[in-house]
Amino acid sequence: MRNYNPLKAPEGVRIALMGNEAIARGVVESGTYVVTGYPGTPSSEIIMTLHEYGSGLDIYAEWAVNERVAFEIALGASLGGARSLVTMKGPGLNVASDPALSAAYSGVNGGMTILVADDPGPMTTQTEQDSRWYAKLSKLPMVSPSSPQEAKDFMVVSQRLSEALQLPVILRTTTRVNHTVGEVITGGTELPRGFQGFRADPPRYVRAGMSWNLERHKWLNNQLRLVEGLVKQYGLNRVVEGGNKCIVTEGVSYNYVMEVLSRYRPTGNNVKVIKVDLLWPIPREFLLNSLSDCEEVLVVEELDPYLEESVKALLNEQKIRVNVYGKSNGFLPLEGELSALLVAKTLSKLLGFGVLSAEPRLKSLEVPSRPPPMCPGCPHRNSYIAILFGIAKAGYRREDIPIFGDIGCYALSVNPPLNAIWVEHSMGASISMAIGFKISGYNRPVIATIGDSTFFHAGLQPLIEAVNKRVDLLVVVLDNSVVAMTGHQSTPAWETTESGRNVKPVDIVEIVRSVGVENLAVVDPFNLDEMTTKVSEFLKKPGVNVLIARAPCAILKVRREGVKRRYKVLSDKCTKCLACVRVTGCPALYVSDEKVAVSTEDCVGCGLCVRYCPYKAIVEVEAT
Amino acid sequence: MSESKIVNILISSVGGQGGLTLSRVIAVASVLSGYSVRTGETLGMAQRFGSVLSYVRVGIDGIVYSPLFDEGEAHYMVCMEVIECARALKYLGRDGVLIVDDVVKPPTSMSLVGSGSEIKSVLLKQISSTIDSARFFLVPAKRIAIELGSSRAANMVLLGVLNGISKLFSESAVTEAVSSLFSNSTREPSLLAYRRGVDYIKHL
C-alpha cells in the first residue's frame, strides 16, 4: 500500500516509523533470519511489517500456532546458529514461559531475541501484567527501549548481546513504544543469517541430566555477570544532565520525565536523569556510580515497582541512606499508564515547583458510551443469536445455561443487546473452565464458545480432556477463518500464508473428529434456523458435542467480494419498535427522525435485520 | 534541554473512519518537514465503531519526548464525528482550534433506547456556545468527500482544513506524505480532497 519501504530503505535515512515497524527494520539490520510469533496487541505489526515489505529479503517470517511453539521454533533455529526473533504480547510469554526457563540453561548459538509487549492502561489486554519480572525469573537479559528509534537500535543490540552471551535476550516494550510513530534514522543492514552448523553436546542441550543442569545453572549465573560490561559498548544506560535530585527511569516513562524537565526546568536543572536500558541483570555498577551523589531518588516506571525495589536493595546493601520515592510509598500509582502530568505533579511535590497544568477550560459533554461492537455482518453475531434462541428452543431459560467465552472479537458479545458470554479469561479457557463447572456438579447444560485461531492456539487439549472424561458439553467453534481481532492474520487452516508460502491447511473438523467427538456438525451461522435447531438438539445430547459455525469474517468477505446487497428502511412502515436493533445490535442501524435508518456506508448487506422487522419495513434496494 | 515548540493535535473519530490514517499522514509530513514527531494511539484490537483517540505531537524545533498530552493541551482538535468531539472536548486547550466534521454516528447504546441523530444539533449548539467562533470550524468534510466521489477521503479534507489554518506543512510535504502512504488508485483522490479542504478554509 505504501510507497516507501522501511525494510529496504538505505542507511542513514530519516523516516517516520511506528515502533513495531522500527523493530521490523531492526530485524533486517541485525541479519535475523527466522521470525515467528503469535498475533497479540500491541506486538502484531512487527511480523505484519515483514509480510508487507519483506518480499525478496529472504527472511522466514511466519505466524506460529501459539507463542510456546513460536518460542521453540526460534530456539531451535538459533541452536543451529541462525538468528531468530519471536514476538508476543505479555500474556503470550506466560504461554511460552516453560521453554523460556529451560532455554536459559541450554543457551543459544545464533542471536535469539524474545520480543514481549506489555500493555499499561490496559488498552487491549486482560491484565496489566508486568513482564519485567520474567527476566528475573528466567534469568534472561532484558533491554527496554523508550522510542521507535531505540526500538530499532535495541533490536540490533539484543541480537549482538545474545550472540556474545550465548543467551536469548528479552526485548521488552510497552504499547506507547510499539504503537508510537516517530522519526527513525535507519542503520546499515546485514544479510540474514541462517543455519551455520550444530554439534551434539548433551550436557549443554539435554536437560534430563541433573548434574548437567546444576553445571549449566552455574554457567548461566556466570554469564549474567558479563552482561553489564557488554552493554556498555553498545551505549546502553545513560545519565542525562547532572544534579543531586535523581530520577531513575526506563522505557516510555523516560519520555514523561524529559517532557516535564524541558517544560518546567525545576530547581535550576539540579536534576539528574538516570536512564536504565538494561532491566536484567540490574546494572549495579552503573546505578551505584550514578546514585553515589544523590540526595533524593525518585523512580519513575509503569506498572510494578520493579526498578524501585532493585534501587532500594542496592542502596541498602551499600549502606547509602537516601530517601527513595516511587510506587511503594504512594508517590506514583501502581495501576494504569503514567503521563507527563502525573510525573510533573509527583516531581513538584519533591522539588517544590508549581505545575502549570493547562486547566481544562472546556469540559467534555455527557455523551453515551461507545464500546466497540461486533461489525455489521459479523458471523459471530448470528452464532450468538442462534445459541441464545437454541437455549430457548431446548426449553431452558437464558439464565440457566452459562456460556463460557474466549479471547477474540466474539468476546464483544458480552455487550448489550446480546449479553451473551458469562466468563472470558485466557486463551482456550472456555472449554477447560466449562469442564470444571460441569464436573463440579452443575446439572444443566453448559456451553463453551471459542474462535478458530484460539482453538488452534489452546483449545485442542481441553477438548481432548472433555472427550476423555466424558463431560456433557456443547462446544461451539466460531470459525471465521482468520485471526480477526488483531488485524486479520493467517491461521493453520490457510493454504497460503501472508508471505506467499504454500502450506498444508489443517482442518478443524478433522481435528475434532479425530479426538473422538461423536456429535459434530458444521453449520452456517447465516442459516440461523438450522443453527438454532442444532444448538437445541446438541444441548440435550450427552457427551461432548461440537458445532462448528463456519462463515468468513465480514471484513475479509467485503474486501474479497465487495458489498452485494443494500437495504433501506421504508419510513412509512417503520414504527420505531426497535426490534431490529434490539435483536442484532448492529452498528449500521441507527435512529434518525423518529425512524430506524440503515447507514449505507457501514451496512454490508447481511440481511439479518430484515428477519426481525415485524412490519417488513427493511427492504433490499438495487445495489449501485 | 531547551523547551521545544510543540504543536499538539488531537484526532477523535469512530473506528473505521480513517482517523489513524490521518495521524499517520501528519506524522510522515512532519518528518519530511524536518520536524520531530510522536503519535500516541492504540490499534490492532477490534476498534471498528469504537471511540478512537489519536494524539499527534509535532516538534517544530527540538525533540518531542512524550507521545501523549493531557487534558486542556490540544492546540488543534480534529473531530471526524460530533459525539466523539463532545467526548474529547476536555482536551482542547485555552486557545485551541476546533475542527469538526458535520457528521454524527449514533452508537448502538443510543439506538437501543431509540435516540439518534437528533443529538447532533444539540451537541453542536452546546459546543459552539462554549468556544469562540473564531476558533470553531464546522466543516462538511464528509459531504465534500462524497461530492468528489471518494467518501473515504473525509480525513484528507480535514487535513486540508487543518493545514489551511495552521500552515504547519508546505504543500510539497503533504503531497509527498500522501503519495508515500496511498496506493496509486487512491493517491489523486486523496490529494484532491486535501486541496478541497484547503480551499474551503480560504473561502470562509
Tell me, what's the pLDDT at B48? 84
DSSP output for A349-400? HHH---------SSPPP--------PPTT-HHHHHHHHHHHHHHHTT--GGG
Residues A504-530 have pLDDT tens digits of 999 999 999 999 998 999 999 999 999
Of A267-276, A535-544, B120-129, B148-157, the poorest mean pLDDT is in A267-276
Q: Does residue B31 sit at the A interface (CB-CB below 8 Å)?
A: yes
Tell me, what's the pLDDT at A241? 79
Element (H, E) at A81: none
Give the nearest partner residue to A4 out of B106, B126, B180, using CB atoms: B180
Question: For chain A, what percent of residues have pLDDT higher than 70?
Answer: 98
Contacts of B101 in chain A (CB under 8 A): none
Give A270's pLDDT tier (boundaries 50, 70, 90).
Answer: confident
Backbone angles phi, psi at B12, to 5 degrees: -115, 135
Tell me, what's the pLDDT at B44? 56
Q: How confident is the model over A342-370, as a mean pLDDT?
A: 84
Terminal C-alpha separation, chain B: 41
Q: Measuring CA to CA, how many Å separate A486 from each of A272, A337, A517?
A: 40, 22, 30
Q: Does residue A486 sit at the B interface (CB-CB below 8 Å)?
A: yes
CB contact under 8 A, B123 and A41: no
Give A460's pLDDT tier (boundaries 50, 70, 90).
Answer: very high
Q: Does residue A451 sit at the B interface (CB-CB below 8 Å)?
A: no
β-partners of residue A520 are A546
**DSSP category for residue B152:** G
CB contact under 8 A, A591 and B111: yes
B-facing residues of A in 134-153 (CB < 8 A) are 147
CB contact under 8 A, A363 and B90: yes
CB contact under 8 A, A367 and B49: no
Give the nearest partner residue to A373 out of B36, B70, B108, using CB atoms: B108
Give B136's pLDDT tier (boundaries 50, 70, 90).
Answer: very high
Side chain identity at residue A120, one-letter code: P
Contacts of A575 in chain B (CB under 8 A): none
Give the nearest partner residue to B66 out of A179, A183, A259, using CB atoms: A259
Q: Does residue B107 sit at the A interface (CB-CB below 8 Å)?
A: yes
Tell me, what's the pLDDT at A3? 64
Residues B65-88 have pLDDT tens digits of 999 999 999 999 999 999 999 999
CB contact under 8 A, A371 and B66: no
Residues A41-93 have pLDDT tens digits of 999 999 999 999 999 999 999 999 999 999 999 999 999 999 999 999 999 99
pLDDT higher than 50, residue B112: yes
Mutate to test the interface with A, among B1, B5, B65, B110 (most CBs of A within 10 A): B65
Side chain identity at residue A475, one-letter code: V
CB contact under 8 A, A182 and B64: yes
Contacts of A555 in chain B (CB under 8 A): 48
B-facing residues of A in 199-258 (CB < 8 A) are 241, 252, 254-256, 258
Answer yes or no: pTM beyond 0.75.
yes
Q: Which three cell numbers stand for residue B165?
A: 489554518
Q: How far apart are CA A86 and CA A102, in angstroms?
A: 16
pLDDT higher than 50, residue B2: no
Instruction: Determine contact, residues A575/A569, Cβ cutoff 8 Å.
Output: no
Give A1's pLDDT tier (boundaries 50, 70, 90).
Answer: very low
Q: How far apart are CA A454 and CA A65, in angstroms?
A: 9
Give A359's pLDDT tier (boundaries 50, 70, 90).
Answer: low
Q: How far apart are CA A430 and CA A77, in angstroms?
A: 33
Residues A528-579 have pLDDT tens digits of 999 999 999 999 999 999 999 999 999 999 999 999 999 999 999 999 999 9
Q: How far apart are CA B151 and CA B174, in angstroms?
A: 20
pLDDT higher than 50, residue B1: no
Mutate to test the interface with A, among B21, B31, B45, B115 (most CBs of A within 10 A): B45
Give the nearest partner residue to A1 out of B1, B49, B183, using CB atoms: B183
Instruction: Determine contact, residues B46/A484, Cβ cutoff 8 Å.
Output: yes
Question: For chain A, what percent of residues have pLDDT higher than 90?
Answer: 94
Residues B185-199 have pLDDT tens digits of 999 999 999 999 999
pLDDT higher than 50, residue B138: yes
Mean pLDDT computed over every residue of chain B: 94
Number of helices (H), then strands (E), belonging to chain B: the values are: 8, 6
Task: Please tell me the distance in Å from A184's CA to the nearest CA on chain B.
Answer: 9
Q: Does residue A52 sit at the B interface (CB-CB below 8 Å)?
A: no
Q: Does residue A358 sit at the B interface (CB-CB below 8 Å)?
A: yes
Q: Which three cell numbers stand for residue B84?
A: 466523539
Tell me, what's the pLDDT at B4? 61
Mutate to test the interface with B, among A370, A559, A600 (most CBs of B within 10 A): A370
Task: Please tell me the distance in Å from A417's CA to the nearest CA on chain B.
Answer: 8
Tell me, what's the pLDDT at A269? 63
Residue of B nearest to A44 (CA): B44
Q: Which three cell numbers stand for residue B67?
A: 507521545
**DSSP category for residue A565:** -
Contacts of A487 in chain B (CB under 8 A): 43-44
Q: How confident is the model over B32-40, as a mean pLDDT?
A: 97
Check the CA dihedral A162-A165-A168-A173 and report its sign. negative
Tell me the three state secondary structure of residue B171: helix
A-facing residues of B in 49-68 (CB < 8 A) are 49-51, 62, 64-68
CB contact under 8 A, A2 and B180: yes
Q: Measuring CA to CA, how many Å separate A307 from each of A142, A449, A498, A508?
A: 13, 40, 40, 45
Question: For chain B, what percent of residues have pLDDT higher than 70?
Answer: 96
Q: How far apart are CA A325 and CA A312, in angstroms?
A: 10
Strands (E), chain B: 6-14, 36-40, 51-59, 74-79, 92-101, 136-139
CA-wise closest residue to A393 among A301, A212, A528: A528
Q: How far apart are CA B32 and CA A183, in angstroms?
A: 10
pLDDT higher than 80, residue B47: no
CB contact under 8 A, B111 and A578: yes
Task: Please tell me the distance in Å from B202's CA to the nearest CA on chain A.
Answer: 28
Mean pLDDT computed over every residue of chain A: 96
Residue of A nearest to B62 (CA): A262
pLDDT higher than 50, residue B14: yes
Give A477's pLDDT tier (boundaries 50, 70, 90).
Answer: very high
pLDDT higher than 90, residue A358: no
pLDDT higher than 70, residue A258: yes
Contacts of A370 in chain B (CB under 8 A): 14, 49-51, 83-84, 87, 107, 109
Q: Which residues contact A570 (CB under 8 A, 6 or more apart)?
A: A617, A618, A619
Task: Please tell me the distance in Å from B140's CA to the nearest CA on chain A.
Answer: 16
Q: How confident is the model over B20-27, as a mean pLDDT?
A: 97
Q: Does residue B48 sit at the A interface (CB-CB below 8 Å)?
A: yes
